[in-house]
Chains A and B, each alone.
Chain A
């Protein structure tokens, strides 16, 4: 058993470090990058990594390290807003459906289950068709695509929590349903929401980079890991670093988030143990 505890401890440390490092890089990139990530310099195009350009330059002579940093900021910001949007809307709807029950619950959940019956990325693509490809379009599209999962999880927790005695007590001492819901039901849903939100952050990073890779996400010239990877394709043979840098960035971020998610699930979700 000690081996297990040791391992999860190790994984959590790696997870926290990776996520912390990426968050730090993203935060720094908002204020400072080695070069202007949008600055074109065709004279310096496709330079291999060197002391001047740590990670080389791309086909338009832009500094890859600066673009990767700025990409971290964009990707994390988009993912953060998307998760916030999905979690907030999903929590409100799930809370109401689980607390009111009856027909409200039935109709909401029938609709919700239908949305869950679509693959998330397909739903996001469909929504992108309607609102068009831009940074905020992608937040709405991915947020709406992932919100149904939050609704499902929150409603499930609410249904089990509302049968607890302390909820009965809260109603009996005369608390209004709104107070009961916000003060006593909601705080007890936080653990499963946190676990889901962590995994979701990873899925959104992945989906956003996939959509940007296809040209349906954050539009160029704003750098994201997805569109950097997409741009690297025509130079993949002559400039390997162009394809390696964004790919390694995405993979390390996802690895960190996945490890963190596993750790949180072990800590917070009693159903696993």
Chain B
């Protein structure tokens, strides 16, 4: 078990290293002088020379990388070109918005998908199963930003139940804050429930054919016990992996949903920074999101042995 944990932890190091190299390389792959890019268009030549020296652009490339990396490791991601704000606190502030939405949405999706998937597998090829599969395939095919727009139109504009534009931090007022987050969370939860239900159903079908399930039934265990004690834990493992991938993909792809609901989240920050050519913020967002993605998948893999001890026995 400990060997598994250590091995898995070590595996993240080369990934994080390459993530760092890519984000570092990004600013140098964009055509043009990095110092010019970092400063924006209107600067005097003296300042440019000074910044080139500060950025170490007169140094060999590997020294530049190590200097940049050591700054990043100390939490210094530079300052935003548009308002001079430090990048890291900005990322943390924006992440709180996206993080809450994604986390609650995925939890809600799991609460729908796990029972629905298990139930569908239990009724395999019967009417209930066919309807569940059909519904989840349809959900899978709806783009989140479109569903968001439709929900906004229905519950925000037509019915007037929920606010349409704006955002109030949860720390200011939990209830008002949540009223702005209900629709984005519902949008994501409904769509991800489709993906997760299909996954849960597929793995439950695979598991329920195995001999130990037949054995559990043969020894007289109730159907409920077979389902919750014998099928669920083993069928849940692949779904958990998918949850990790989904969490990361959502953080990368949430920009569209944040645009629909005008939420000041991490995705919107990245897209605005791309439009404003605010490269320190772009770099920061990419680095931050990739880091979260790697960490979430690490966490998922570390939870895996709890569900399926065979993983560590390799």
* Chain B residue nearest in CB terms to A110: B14
Could you list 15 A-B pairs, sorted by A, with CB under 8 Å? A7-B125, A114-B15, A114-B19, A117-B19, A117-B297, A119-B248, A122-B252, A122-B253, A122-B293, A214-B255, A216-B271, A229-B145, A236-B157, A243-B149, A258-B141
B140 within 8 A of partner (CB): yes
Q: Mark B245-279, 1 if CB is under 8 A from A, else 0.
A: 00011011101100110000000001100110000
Give the CA-CA distance A110 to B17 in the complex, in Å: 12
Q: Mark A121-133, 1 if CB is under 8 A from B, else 0.
A: 1100110111000
Query: Quick one: which of A232-260 are within 8 Å of B by CB?
Result: 232-233, 236-237, 240, 243, 246-247, 250-252, 254-255, 258-259
Query: Are A113's CB and B15's CB within 8 A?
Result: yes
* Chain B residue nearest in CB terms to A130: B29
Query: Quick one: which of B117-147 are within 8 Å of A by CB?
Result: 125-126, 130, 137-138, 140-143, 145-146
- 7 closest residue pairs by CB, A with B: A119-B252, A122-B252, A247-B146, A254-B141, A255-B141, A114-B18, A121-B253
Q: Within the complex, what minimum Cβ distance (angstroms) separates A163 from chain B? A: 21
Give the CA-CA distance A237 to B130 in the complex, in Å: 36
* Chain B residue nearest in CB terms to A133: B274
Query: Are A262's CB and B137's CB within 8 A?
Result: yes
Query: Max chain B CB contacts within 10 Å: which of A113, A121, A229, A255?
Result: A121
B286 partner residues in chain A, CB cutoff 8 A: 122, 125-126
Given known pairs A119-B253, A236-B157, A255-B137, the reply for A125 and B149 (CB within 8 Å) is no
Given known pairs A119-B249, A254-B140, the reply for A240 and B153 (CB within 8 Å) is yes
Given known pairs A117-B297, A213-B145, A229-B149, the reply for A130 and B26 (CB within 8 Å) is yes
Residue of B30, B143, B248 touching A209 (CB-CB under 8 A):
B143
Q: Mark B267-303, 1 if CB is under 8 A from A, else 0.
A: 0001100110000001000100110011001000000
Query: Are A118's CB and B290's CB within 8 A?
Result: yes
Query: Are A129's CB and B290's CB within 8 A?
Result: no
B150 within 8 A of partner (CB): yes
Give the CA-CA distance A19 to B143 in the complex, in Å: 17
Query: Are A210's CB and B19's CB within 8 A?
Result: no
Query: Are A258's CB and B146's CB within 8 A?
Result: no
Q: Within the complex, what minimum Cβ distance (angstroms) separates B37 from chain A? A: 11
Residue of B18, B29, B125, B256 touching A213 (CB-CB under 8 A):
B256
Q: Within the complex, what minimum Cβ distance (angstroms) separates A185 from chain B? A: 28
A229 partner residues in chain B, CB cutoff 8 A: 145-146, 149
Given known pairs A122-B290, A213-B259, A247-B143, the reply for A237 and B153 (CB within 8 Å) is yes
B22 within 8 A of partner (CB): yes
Q: A125-B271, A252-B141 are in contact. List 4 more A-B contacts (CB 8 A).
A: A4-B125, A114-B18, A121-B253, A251-B138
Query: Are A119's CB and B143's CB within 8 A?
Result: no
Q: Within the complex, what minimum Cβ distance (angstroms) separates B145 from chain A? A: 6
Query: Are A7's CB and B130's CB within 8 A?
Result: yes
Query: Quick one: which of A118-158 are within 8 Å of B by CB?
Result: 118-122, 125-126, 128-130
Give the CA-CA distance A272 to B278 in the complex, in Å: 47
B256 partner residues in chain A, CB cutoff 8 A: 210, 213-214
Q: Within the complex, what minimum Cβ distance (angstroms) separates A64 from chain B? A: 15
* Chain A residue nearest in CB terms to B149: A243
Give the CA-CA distance A176 to B142 in the complex, in Å: 48
Query: Are A236's CB and B294's CB within 8 A?
Result: no
Given known pairs A114-B15, A120-B249, A240-B153, the reply for A128 and B143 (CB within 8 Å) is no
A210 partner residues in chain B, CB cutoff 8 A: 143, 145, 253, 256
Query: A residues bordering B, Cβ < 8 Å?
Result: 1, 3-4, 7, 110-111, 113-114, 117-122, 125-126, 128-130, 202, 206, 209-210, 213-216, 229, 232-233, 236-237, 240, 243, 246-247, 250-252, 254-255, 258-259, 262
Give the CA-CA distance A258 to B198 in the complex, in Å: 12
Interface SS majority for chain A: helix
Residue of B18, B248, B274 touching A125 (CB-CB under 8 A):
B274
Query: Are B30's CB and A130's CB within 8 A?
Result: yes
Query: Are A117's CB and B251's CB within 8 A?
Result: no
B255 partner residues in chain A, CB cutoff 8 A: 125, 214
Q: Mark B16-38, 1 if CB is under 8 A from A, else 0.
A: 00110011001001100000000
A130 partner residues in chain B, CB cutoff 8 A: 26, 29-30
* Chain A residue nearest in CB terms to B270: A125
Query: Are A233's CB and B15's CB within 8 A?
Result: no
Give the CA-CA distance A126 to B149 in the complex, in Å: 26
Give the CA-CA distance A118 to B251 in the complex, in Å: 11
Query: Are A236's CB and B30's CB within 8 A?
Result: no
Give the CA-CA distance A111 to B142 in the complex, in Å: 33
Query: Are B14's CB and A255's CB within 8 A?
Result: no
B145 partner residues in chain A, CB cutoff 8 A: 210, 213, 229
* Chain A residue nearest in CB terms to B126: A3
A114 partner residues in chain B, CB cutoff 8 A: 14-15, 18-19
Give the CA-CA distance A262 to B143 in the complex, in Å: 19
* Chain B residue nearest in CB terms to A111: B18
B138 partner residues in chain A, CB cutoff 8 A: 251, 255
A111 partner residues in chain B, CB cutoff 8 A: 18
Query: Are B30's CB and A215's CB within 8 A?
Result: no
A255 partner residues in chain B, CB cutoff 8 A: 137-138, 141
Give the CA-CA distance A89 to B239 in the complex, in Å: 30
Given known pairs A113-B15, A119-B249, A126-B26, the reply for A259 and B143 (CB within 8 Å) is no
